[in-house]
Amino acid sequence: MKTLVGYVRDYLRRDVNWIYFGLLVTLLSLVVGWFYSDKEHLQLIGGGADDSFRYVNNLALYGGTLIGALLLFIPFAKDKSWLLNGRFWITVLFAVGLYAFAIFCYWHKEWIKNWTDGPDEIFWLRCASGIGKILILGIPVTIWWFLFDRKDQSLYGLKQTNVRPYLWMLAALMPLIIAASFTDGFQKMYPMVTRTLTVAKIEGDKFWYVSIFEFFYGSNYVVTEFFFRGFLILALTRWIGPHIILPVAAFYVTIHIGKPLGETISSFFGGIILGVITYRTKSIWGGVLIHVGIAFAMEIAAYVVKY
């Protein structure tokens, strides 16, 4: 635990330009404030519908934030060689385009509807997010690593690490999760698997349904860590070093737009902490453990309190 705190403390002391930090927070405040100022603004992004403008809007939001954060850093960068590095910008554009498409993509949901019907159709549609992240993010990023980065590093953070500090961090969060599990809002949202089975009207033996849902629910967080911390941090750090952490954290905020405002705001600080840890350890497993551990802890806590 002390080691992880030390990583973050060293980063804040040595690598953060606080004027840039303030400008970046201002930029994010304007972006997030605009979307939350009117519910109609939220309808402009996302996916699930045959509306190509949503992909363009996703691209503008994600690309504008990440590239804008990078351009905003130019006056504060001591080494500006990354500005003229084509490979750096190609990687950035690939990442933005891929994630915008992953959020927009709805075709796998159409396939599910064609393959299934009744309760199973509803159930698999509820699993579609995890399925889509694996297919649309996980596979292309793995191919990118094989083509360009396999000689320089392991598969974007999929290397062994000491998980004990993360277990302590997760344990420290348990009281907060347990306390939250008694609130009405929490109980309306969780456990996600129970909501899914209820909406889908799944009856009889539910063991396999629960197992499948929780697998894809957890995989959603694994692929998110793989993409944001493994791919974006570890693929781009060779050109810009630890300074990539803040722009990626800004990008990470935008994928939370539409969720409760507190969660969106806190994602910036969570993105910084997880980015620092990945940068220092060259492993994403700590972030995966925390992300998945919190998700499953919320599922279990809500189930115990409600049932």
Q: Are 248 and 228 in contact (CB under 8 A)?
A: yes
Res 117: pLDDT:
77
Res 135: pLDDT:
86
E-assigned strand segments in the chain = none
Query: Rounded mean pLDDT of 259-270?
Result: 86
Tell me the three state secondary structure of residue 180. Answer: helix
Helical packing angle, 285-306 and 207-225, nearest 10°: 140
Mean residue pLDDT across the chain: 87
pLDDT at 107 over 80: no
Res 1: pLDDT:
65
Query: Rounded mean pLDDT of 126-132?
Result: 80
Exposed/middle/buried for 8, CB within 10 Å: 0-12, 13-18, 19+? middle
Res 199: pLDDT:
79
Range of the domain at 34: 2-306
Res 247: pLDDT:
97
Nearest residue to 89 (alpha-carbon basis) of 76, 104, 70, 73: 70
Question: Does residue 206 or residue 16 have the better pLDDT?
Answer: 16
Res 268: pLDDT:
94
Query: Rounded mean pLDDT of 86-90?
Result: 95
Query: What would the pLDDT profile of 36-58 be if each residue is shown by its tens digit?
Result: 888 888 777 776 566 677 888 88
Res 38: pLDDT:
82
Q: Using 50, 70 and 90 to split pLDDT, how confident is the model at 120?
A: confident
pTM, two decimal places: 0.88
End-to-end CA distance of the chain: 34
Compute the C-alpha angle 77/81/85, nearest 5°.
Answer: 125
Q: What gap in Å lies between CA 137 and CA 51, rounded to an integer?
A: 21
Q: Using 50, 70 and 90 to split pLDDT, how confident is the model at 28?
A: very high
The top-scoring range by mean pLDDT among 205-214, 220-229, 290-299 is 220-229
Domain total for the chain? 1
Query: Rounded mean pLDDT of 216-224?
Result: 90
Q: Using 50, 70 and 90 to split pLDDT, how confident is the model at 194?
A: confident
Question: Does residue 74 or residue 5 have the better pLDDT?
Answer: 74
Query: What would the pLDDT profile of 155-188 be if each residue is shown by its tens digit?
Result: 999 887 777 888 888 888 888 888 878 877 677 7
Res 49: pLDDT:
60
